[in-house]
Amino acid sequence: MLKTNEKKVIEFLLQCQPGPPKTSGNWGVDHDGEPFILPAIGGITLNVQAGDPAFGWAGDHIEPGVSCIVNSLKPFDQPNLSLQMFSCVGNKAKVITGNAKGSVGHVIGHHGGSEHLVVEFPRKVKEKLTYDDKIIVYAKGQGLKLVDYPDIMLYNLDPSLLKKMGIKETGRKKLSVPVTTMVPASCMGSGLGASHVAKGDYDIMTSDPGTVKKYGLNKIRFGDFVALLDHDNRYGRAYRRGAVTIGIVVHSNCLKAGHGPGVTTVMTCKTSNIEPIISPGANISNILKIGTY
């Protein structure tokens, strides 16, 4: 069993509510110059959930489940900053008002730009929610460390989910981590260069059909754990040869240049001490038995 500092990790109660769908009120333009008007970020999305394909939807930057925020008019201010920084993938989320009161969901990840926390709830729960309902997140995970692997850093990851990811010690001071997809460094786009990864995400660019086919990027699903090769996320998002980062897919494929399925970071190392292993079941829906599994 992996040794961590879990007993020292702080657990907060954070409060949020569903965030309405957002739009610029104008045409979007894709990477080939074609205009479009499609559903995008935000909302209580009834027919999209963790485990579903991240490709093929009539939408752009679609967030599965419930897009949560504290104040949709002030997404970059407190207390939404705290919600983003301290909520972690796998955290329990509980509805405390309205017709869905008492229902429990799970945090899937953060989406930068919209500053949404993406939370998975069953459809029967989502149909009862309103945009005035309150949701409590049992936030725990920031500050989590691997005692025997100081070179591998963890972010945005609930300790209980870490234990369920099927990670194995190789005996060579390396960790074997199941993922569905290996993503080459050249495909990482929007969000690259951010100063830290404790909130937000960055996108797997999918504008080149040959690369998408070669690496099977079009098979990615919401909630997939994926390996970002030659990417070091310890102190921001940067290219470093030999580095490996593990992330979870939090939004759909996108039409705009520099964009694609969004990834929230959960594990990173500047060296190859993380060994990603292809496993088709490496999805949070399968691990927690939520969404489409």
> Which of these three, 140, 166, 183, is where a domain ends?
140
Looking at the fold, whether 124 and 213 belong to one and the same domain comes out as: no
Looking at the fold, whether 203 and 89 belong to one and the same domain comes out as: no
Residue 210 lies in a domain: yes
Expressed as residue numbers, the domain containing 258 is: 153-288
Show Cβ contacts of residue 30 under 8 Å, excluding neighbours closer than 6 positions.
36, 255, 256, 257
Looking at the fold, whether 97 and 224 belong to one and the same domain comes out as: no
What residue spans of the chain are helical by DSSP H? Answer: 80-86, 123-126, 159-162, 209-215, 284-288
Looking at the fold, whether 200 and 118 belong to one and the same domain comes out as: no
Average pLDDT (49-74) is 97
Looking at the fold, whether 186 and 98 belong to one and the same domain comes out as: no
Q: Are 224 and 279 in contact (CB under 8 A)?
A: no
Bridge partners, residue 44, by sequence? 66
- How far is Cα 91 from Cα 87, in angstroms, rounded to an integer? 7
> Which of these three, 140, 173, 203, is where a domain ends?
140
Whole-number pLDDT of residue 102: 98
- Per DSSP, the chain holds a count of helices (H) and strands (E) of 5, 18
User: Helix or strand or coil: residue 242?
Assistant: strand
Residue 147 lies in a domain: no
Residue 229 lies in a domain: yes
Average pLDDT (14-25) is 96
User: Helix or strand or coil: residue 288?
Assistant: helix
Number of structural domains in the chain: 2
Looking at the fold, whether 233 and 264 belong to one and the same domain comes out as: yes
Confidence (pTM): 0.97
Q: What is the mean pLDDT of the chain?
A: 97
Domain CATH number, residue 203:
2.102.30.10
State pLDDT tens for residues 81-109: 999 999 999 999 999 999 999 999 999 99
> Which of these three, 140, 162, 185, is where a domain ends?
140
State pLDDT tens for residues 247-269: 999 999 999 999 999 999 999 99
